[in-house]
Amino acid sequence: AVISAVLGEQLQNEKELEVFVGIVFEKAVSERNFSGIYADLCQILRWRSLEFTGEKERRRTFYNMLLNKVQSEFEKLPETKMTLSDEDKTKLSPADQEIKLKQLKDRTLGNIKFIGELFLRRLLSAKAVKEVVTSLIG
């Protein structure tokens, strides 16, 4: 049902495809144990999904949108630095702060694992993964 939706039976425009990509990405990141399955799904959808022409006549495919989503999420990592905002520190109890930090850590690990799974399926280049590793180490 999911694959048929993206093949055109239910997705009608670029916005719906973008929402679908967001859902797949969120599930892959939040359910780390299944990130390989979501990467398999992404591999299938890369070749079988619809293509929309978006702003400035730019091609918009499932694959393009997925790469943009993965990149933007990874680029947010330095901003979070696994710390809470000042607002969260004053607003949340110590127990809630721990929960929030764990959620940040889990999301970061989920994203990194999903990046690895996409690489294993040749959906991300070695150069992209090298940049991820360099960023994490440095």
Domains of the chain, by residue range, sit at 2-137
For 28-85, the three-class secondary structure string (H helix, E strand, C coil) is HHHCHHHHHHHHHHHHHHHHHCCEEECHHHCEEEHHHHHHHHHHHHHHCHHHHCCCCC
Give domain 2-137's CATH number out of 1.25.40.180, 2.30.30.100, 3.20.20.60, 3.40.50.300: 1.25.40.180
In this prediction, the residues of the chain whose per-residue pLDDT falls under 50 are none
The whole model's pTM is what? 0.80
The closest of 64, 42, 58 to 120, measured between CA atoms, is 42
CB of 114 closer than 8 Å to CB of 70: yes
- Tell me the sheet residues that pair with 51: 61
List, for residues 75-99, the tens digit of each pLDDT value: 887 665 667 777 777 888 888 888 8
pLDDT at 55: 65
